[in-house]
Structure 1
């Protein structure tokens, strides 16, 4: 070979001014050969695809571009909520949200359990939070995040009721749905009409329909802010530094009307959550990838593929991942309810009572559907946005990281002995956080739960790591300029 082929090419000077690594002509030729080989392989692949699937070349090109570059070959325009300065009512709501004086202890506010530093969820890893007059009372469930609730519909059962002034009888609807076969949850398919499964609402059991209704709950809950009556809340509001703002906005007579004062205060808290962009920022890496402004790594792309694979993880069966037809960004929940059969969490003080069971929609914290036992064990599907920031998972906080969560989905049916404890006789106590008579409510038909003991799990360990890598792209605050 010509000796000149090994001669060093002139060194390059990066932005810092220091010489870069020396590139020989031989290594340069090798790089060119590898690039040419990649082009040839891609061309052959495209040619073969064209022969087998004529007329589908654009999709094939897009798939190859996505695989090689990590870019979204079909970017979309996302319709985010409009940004504007907060209204006077929303600013008042912000004051209330952070006001510790409204609690019986004088040390707890809405932000204590819904920290803006942690996507409006708790900033600690306790399975439940402590409250009460002396901050010594344990809660029953981990507070969910308050983010991405701006499109949450009121609680309902069955098809959308639409705009109607006729009060909905949930018990009647539930009775009509009894015995109807459960809708199949399949990733990327059109969401099935929830003939049996409830939808919408706030809290883990959907017992509040609006942000305003949700806000008053913790103020009078004995294990949270612990005011004994709504009148106690009104009295505390009259002592605040912002009471004059109430009088200016709603008239001076509001000071003498406790129920109206509380109603307007909770309305203000709701307006704060609706207007402040931090509650629905849509600034994740995935959002920017959808818009063509960021690139996903190979692991993240593979994780997205598995997330949307109806036969593998099937996460998108409940955590919808596609923008709507009119460009609304996905909020990664179908807002429906599922009974997953997560194991009992012995760290929750209430669970030390053997006969105590938290059964979600049918009780104990809502009682209007207590007799509709087909819903026992069902809890609201939460958004997966900012899921990588969470410290505890599921309605009972039994898991503390995403690997544990994914192992539960992967092994619950194939290796239940790895998920649930054994009783004194050595028998695996499957679905041990739900009374046996309601075990039939647990989802055992949707992937990855459509497997039996001894079957190969739906996902490998590497699959799980890649899905977790993708879920980390759902965290807000991504710098699109640095992608």
Structure 2
């Protein structure tokens, strides 16, 4: 009866009948290291063009994603080089674990040979996705890491990559980055923190600079604000509308949208707020984005974990087509979706999930003979990697789609409750 009564309260008032106490990240003034990292994060002089900083692609006003609606960002020495992928948001990475394969792969101090672990994982069952909680023992699938393919393990490691990417900040080497840091207006802060000789050690200078950027992302609350309407609803401080409540139920329903199978929606057992990702990797078979410059070459395929931008798992073809499941927090504010930015609205994203298996002709292009080119952004030999077992992908062509258009709109209404910056009546 208590659960039935709670359901009635929820339906009539929109309030959470079982509010929880969330364990939120502590807030404190930024350390000297994080303050230095903030200066580096916004410093355009560190790019070859002199016009691009970390914040250029990761704008604080846009949930640390791009501020514009370009398919990919432009960079390089002349600011005319097209990027390879849409930059993901830098928010909610403070709990991201290093890249691993299989359960407890990092519970040892012995270095892990990922290729060897991946080889052992061949034939292992995929983890069963369930409603909003992580599997008790994840199957041998990739998880953790940063970037769409997990090739960086730390925020420090992630920060260096754009500085050296020829289509981003386009420095020729870490030594060039070091020379620019040595000429920066904040070099005295480096000396205060690391000693007067820091600028003479190029490798250490760059390493400490990237560590500082990582500390900025860990310490500044704007990277993990937890100020969404849903966070307040969890704590009993906000009420959801009828559409938002219905959307939440559909989001969590393993037989309907099943979003929570990958985008975990429940607080952890110890009260940490949900990050709306299981940090695992999935091959979803999203359509090819013909607008990307890199895709003008029909022989090019971005296959995520097995390449081409990471190389250590190139031979582990069971992972070709797999990309990191991103957080859905603030996703309603994004301009582009998926690793290749093929979709620009949540309606398009939901149509993909709803129709990919039942009506593929509405999702993919047709060849000259009229045949539907299913999974056209992945070589045919890897199509077996694409998820066809988890709802709503567990349907066949001609089946009824899992969701109606009205249900999709309610799910999107719920997803809008994941945007940070909600104002409660007491705020």
Contact 2:74–2:82 (8 Å) recurs in 1: yes
1:133 to 73, 77, 81: 77
Aligned-partner Cα distance in 1 for 2:279–2:118: 17
Aligned-partner Cα distance in 2 for 1:322–1:236: 45
2:297 to 334, 353, 360: 353
Contact 2:133–2:266 (8 Å) recurs in 1: no
Instruction: State the 1:187 CA deviation.
Output: 1.6
2:395 aligns with 451
Contact 1:185–1:192 (8 Å) recurs in 2: no
1:257 to 187, 196, 201: 201
1:155 to 99, 103, 112: 99
Instruction: State the 1:358 CA deviation.
Output: 0.1
Higher relative contact order (CA 8 A, sep 6+): 2
Per-residue CA deviations over 1:422-475 (Å, capped at 9, x if unaligned) read 000000000000000000000000000000011000000000000000000000
Contact 2:101–2:117 (8 Å) recurs in 1: yes
1:210 aligns with 154
SS at match of 2:92: coil
Q: How does 1:224-263 map to 2 (within 5 A)?
A: 224-263=168-207
Q: State how many pairs are aligned.
A: 427
Q: Say if 2:45 is the partner of 1:101.
A: yes
1:23 aligns with none
1:12 aligns with none
Q: How does 1:20-419 map to 2 (within 5 A)?
A: 57-191=1-135, 193-419=137-363
Instruction: State the 1:406 CA deviation.
Output: 0.2
Contact 1:303–1:468 (8 Å) recurs in 2: yes
Q: Structure 1 stretches (4+) deviating beyond 4 angstroms?
A: none
Per-residue CA deviations over 1:78-99 (Å, capped at 9, x if unaligned) read 1100000000000000000000
Instruction: State the 1:482 CA deviation.
Output: 6.4
Contact 2:100–2:106 (8 Å) recurs in 1: no
2:368 aligns with 424
Q: Say if 2:366 is the partner of 1:440.
A: no
Contact 1:306–1:314 (8 Å) recurs in 2: yes
Per-residue CA deviations over 1:199-234 (Å, capped at 9, x if unaligned) read 000000000000000000000000000000100000
Unaligned runs of 5+ in 1: 1-56
Instruction: State the 1:188 CA deviation.
Output: 3.3
Contact 1:183–1:192 (8 Å) recurs in 2: no
SS at match of 2:425: helix
1:475 to 419, 423, 427: 419
Identify, as 1 or 2, the structure richer in helix: 1
Contact 2:132–2:263 (8 Å) recurs in 1: no
Aligned-partner Cα distance in 1 for 2:415–2:388: 24
Aligned-partner Cα distance in 2 for 1:378–1:126: 24
Aligned-partner Cα distance in 2 for 1:97–1:353: 34
Instruction: State the 1:163 CA deviation.
Output: 3.8
| TM-score, length basis structure 1 | 0.87
Aligned-partner Cα distance in 2 for 1:199–1:320: 14
Per-residue CA deviations over 1:34-90 (Å, capped at 9, x if unaligned) read xxxxxxxxxxxxxxxxxxxxxxx0000000000000000000001100000000000
Contact 2:247–2:413 (8 Å) recurs in 1: yes
Instruction: State the 1:182 CA deviation.
Output: 1.6
| TM-score, length basis structure 2 | 0.99
Contact 2:133–2:264 (8 Å) recurs in 1: no
Instruction: State the 1:193 CA deviation.
Output: 2.9
SS at match of 1:481: coil
Farther off after superposition, 182-191 or 89-98: 182-191
Aligned-partner Cα distance in 2 for 1:141–1:162: 28
Instruction: State the 1:192 CA deviation.
Output: 5.2
Per-residue CA deviations over 1:290-328 (Å, capped at 9, x if unaligned) read 000000000000000000000000000000000011110
Contact 1:191–1:334 (8 Å) recurs in 2: no
Per-residue CA deviations over 1:328-367 (Å, capped at 9, x if unaligned) read 0000000000000000001100101000000000000001
1:32 aligns with none
